[in-house]
Amino acid sequence: MTTLDNRPNTALLVIDVQTGFVKDAYERDAIVGNVSTVVDKARAAGADLVWVQHHNDDLPQGSELWQLVPELVRLEAEPLVNKAYADAFEGTDLESVLAERGIGRLVIAGAQTDECIRSTLHGAIVRGYDALLVSDAHTTEDLREYGAPSPDLVIAHTNLYWEYHTAPGRTAGTVTTADLDFTGMAS
């Protein structure tokens, strides 16, 4: 388990499920539906939820495109972390938010697979967190015109390598929305 001392709790980290990021995302409606189900499961089990929203020149804070998709509602008590870099830990208060809550295990869902999801997964594991990716609750847009594989292959590859990722004293892996059970995790 986590290499972080006194961090027995689990949190769902919902990354960048914002109108501007997922409007053209692969299987948008299905993925947003799965993220919503995962959010419901976390709340029902009493797990912490932490929301992350990206901002940049094309997605300014407070703009319509910056908003969470209308299908997802953040409760006032659930922390919101604003970020400007792919890794949700970089230049943010995410670490202090997690430390205050004794969180050492992260369940990650959201967008975009090939940028913010991957960066945050790696950022978490190198900082000592356990990091579990919800394999059917992350997506990306089609970036083939820039040389990327098709979105389905980006998602499949990320799931493949994260399922078998290892680090000393930490756990990684994947789980489907249907199989995710927060009640079986320390919290």
Question: Once rounded to an integer, what is the mean pLDDT over residues 141-148?
Answer: 95
pLDDT at residue 186, as a whole number: 52
Contacts of 145 (CB under 8 A, 6+ apart): none
pLDDT digits (tens, 9 = 90+) for 159-171: 999 999 999 999 9
Q: Per-residue pLDDT averaged across 74-92, rounded?
A: 97
pTM, whole model, 2 decimals? 0.96
| Mean pLDDT, the chain, integer | 95
